[in-house]
Amino acid sequence: MARLLLLRHAESEWNAQGRWQGQADTPLTDRGRRHAAEAGPLMATFEMLVCSDLSRARQSAEIIATGAGIDEIHIEPRLRERNAGPWQGLTRDEIEQGWPGYLGSGRRPADYEADDQLVARADAALSDIALLADRRGASEVLVVTHGGVISSLTVRAGLEMVRMPNLSGRWVTVDDGAVCVGVPVTVGDADRHSSEAVEAGRPPPRS
């Protein structure tokens, strides 16, 4: 059974600006590109590389692939970040002004993709990736995706949320179509290369 390492992409421009990204197609910052380049050689043991089709994940995967010596990248649109509807592009302060109390109470606006929709498409994508890995005899697959995807799978598994800097994530396996979420992983000097996450899955503020 192949193991899949789900990683959040490297820092994007809207990460650096503290903006809620959703499915907006924002590129990496210079700092994000440096982090991905640093991570590449650490990923040389992976036999397959799959990524979301959004620029920040695709660029992260391309840079990592160069450093890891991986020749082929599989693009998987079902690994996109959650559609955040009217919140895409807004800071937390702007969201609070437009939707007072929503963030604190966990409410979300219309057109915001629900957890069950997100995990359903992620489950389907990961099941297909695991099948492809088995056919190719790959034991470890690197999957570059988004914080909302990893967080939603973690919450569904009943696991404690942990801080998720850029290029961190979770190991998962797929057993008879069921996605089993494992231990958290951080690649490279994530704290030096990351902005605070502002989207779904962000841990509670430090007291």
pLDDT tens digits for range 111-132? 999 999 999 999 999 999 999 9
Interatomic CA distance for residues 191 and 141, integer angstroms: 24
Query: Which of 9, 35, 146, 193 is labelled catalytic?
Result: 9
- Decide if 41 contacts 68 (C-beta within 8 A): yes
Catalytic site residue from 11, 38, 81, 113: 81
**Residue 170 β-bridge partners:** 6, 184
Q: Which residues contact 75 (CB under 8 A, 6 or more apart)?
A: 50, 51, 52, 53, 58
Task: Output phi, psi for 144, to 5 deg.
Answer: -95, 115
68-107 pLDDT, tens digit each: 999 999 999 999 999 999 999 999 999 999 999 999 999 9
Active site residue 146: no
Give 176-201 pLDDT, tens digit per residue.
889 999 999 998 776 777 776 666 44
Polymer length of the chain: 207
Instruction: Report pTM.
Output: 0.92
Known catalytic membership, residue 9: yes
**What does residue 49 show for φ and ψ, rounded to 5 degrees?**
-135, 125
Task: Name the packing angle between helices 30-39 and 55-68 (round to 10°).
Answer: 40
Q: How far is CA 144 from CA 63, 82, 103, in A?
A: 11, 14, 27
